[in-house]
Chains A and B, each alone.
Chain A
């Protein structure tokens, strides 16, 4: 295992008008772990994810993925450097089949040649076969291989979430960002999700998990970072973080009072 963290973010700052959504956040994620980011609603979790993935750029800071600076790069460049993600609100490609959804990402690092496509030559067929193979493997991992031929829009909600994970996996990412993957799932579905995350970790993928549901993340995460009002207020092993008075004040405390 290499020494450089897979994600090294320094001073990531994002402003929306007068609101400081991210206030100079530093984040180092070592390879191969499951890192969680928790925090109350509006604390900047998704904003941080968007900044890391390039979906919505930070105003200042430095973000290194696997050693290369990605600050200001367009999302597809960051994706090709090995960062994949899912979305809090599902964004599957509804007009494509389940398999085709995954193939979009599986083609991530295969160059597109209009000439080869039009000629449908052996090079093109080989590329397609590779993409198909990658896509099938990703569907197997999340247990959706049986629905490969269905139209993606026909999948039930929880399976659409799994499809997003399969799509993210197909690009062979070094790090996978999951934005509230358990949102809207029932207990059984959440358990399957946790098993899938454990499987991903075992296969060497670093997982960055953004969750609102603290109980869900505590069991599966190796490290937890806590955001509040755009600032990182704590970081460490789940047990440590749970004992941190700042965290209890900002997040757990509030939840307990409501619960």
Chain B
């Protein structure tokens, strides 16, 4: 199968990376890249496919991370934290989404910017629980019925497996009536409605699924990096996540992963440039937007953007 070949190559590369380098710093960076990729995949549901601008994705990421950190530090078993994180972000996404997603245009963008700021302020000021600006350290690690990954390489494989799962779920949604309804809603809300699509419900589901992706990534972030601080989930991070989506390729699953990995690694790889890095970064983003409006994925096109028939 010709289609499977690039996928197989990617899989081999992902498995082989830890053999090529034992540099803990590089593996750690890749782990963060993988977590970011999951968050950007989540953002793709609501922004890439449904066309709603969401600047709250970093806050959902943070909610998941802080929920997990606070719960495990309080002595709850790790196994409860994915569920707890999902519950917290789902509740938050419903509170935000129910009133705003009935409205069209930029209301969600405004609300989520406010939401991100509120979450940041709570984290910074609720010091006894959240550790304030200095964050939380020594967060208990992942442990499933006594099994715990040891070291960064084991975490790397675990996170890569979760990312693969996140990609599979995204693909399944894309090729279902829900995924088609999301894209239809972005292309023409009125035509989607007149075709029987409940666009409000579709937008709410996309927003919620996106929040759950971010919440679960946050949960894994807290318990695999073991240290969290408000900076990792700030408004700047929200903009960075949006940039990853745009540079990688809005609406493309492969693009989400490419964008997240590229923009997580690039700042570190180009660190020798010092402050010139920001100039290069800005020019790079502009170049992608102008030369390849479909994002990096439209150039490489690792995974075809659609299949005409379901498998």
Contact = CB atoms under 8 A, between A and B. Distances in A.
Contacts of A53: 194
B39 to A, nearest CB: 18
Contact of B309 (A74, A85, A112, A132): A132
B190 A91 contact: yes
Contact of B177 (A75, A76, A79, A112): A112
Question: Interface range on chain B: under 10, 10 to 19, 20 to 34, or 35 or more?
Answer: 20 to 34
Most buried by A among B183, B205, B209: B183
B1 interface: no
B177 A93 contact: no
A124 interface: yes
Contacts of A74: 193, 198, 200
Given A76-B197, A91-B188, 18 more contacts: A54-B193, A54-B194, A74-B198, A76-B192, A76-B195, A79-B194, A84-B194, A96-B180, A97-B306, A104-B177, A104-B181, A112-B177, A112-B178, A120-B172, A128-B175, A128-B176, A129-B310, A171-B195
Contacts of B310: 125, 128-129, 132
Interface in B161-203: 169, 172-173, 175-178, 180-181, 183-184, 186-188, 190-200
20 contacts: A55-B190, A76-B194, A76-B197, A79-B193, A80-B196, A84-B194, A87-B190, A92-B187, A92-B191, A96-B180, A107-B181, A107-B196, A108-B195, A117-B172, A117-B173, A117-B178, A127-B177, A128-B310, A131-B177, A171-B196
Interface string A59-97: 000000000000000111001100011010001111111
B180 A107 contact: yes
Contact of A104 (B175, B180, B205, B209): B180
A104 B198 CA distance: 11
A131 B309 CA distance: 11
Contacts of A100: 180, 183, 306
A117 B310 CA distance: 13
A109 interface: yes
Most buried by B among A53, A84, A97, A112: A112
Contacts of A97: 306, 308
A251 B260 CA distance: 60
Most buried by A among B196, B198, B251, B309: B196
Contacts of A128: 175-177, 310
Interface of A: 53-55, 74-76, 79-80, 84-85, 87, 91-97, 99-101, 103-105, 107-110, 112, 114, 117-118, 120, 124-125, 127-129, 131-132, 148-149, 151, 167-168, 171
B190 A104 contact: no
Contacts of B172: 117-118, 120
B186 A95 contact: yes
A114 B205 contact: yes
Contacts of A110: 177
A99 B200 CA distance: 24
Contacts of B194: 53-55, 75-76, 79, 84-85
A149 B305 CA distance: 12
Contacts of A103: 177, 180
A75 B193 contact: yes
Nearest to A116: B176
Contacts of A129: 310
A86 to B, nearest CB: 9
Most buried by A among B172, B177, B181, B186: B177
A104 B196 CA distance: 8
A76 to B, nearest CB: 5
B196 A124 contact: no
A149 B176 contact: no
A238 to B, nearest CB: 28
Nearest to B306: A97
The 3 A-B residue pairs with the shortest CB-CB distance, nearest first, are A108-B196, A149-B308, A107-B177
Interface in B194-219: 194-200, 205, 209
A140 to B, nearest CB: 15
A124 B308 CA distance: 18
A109 B196 CA distance: 8
Contacts of B184: 93, 96, 101, 104
B173 to A, nearest CB: 6
B65 to A, nearest CB: 23
A108 B192 CA distance: 10
Nearest to A171: B196
Contact of A114 (B178, B198, B200, B251): B178
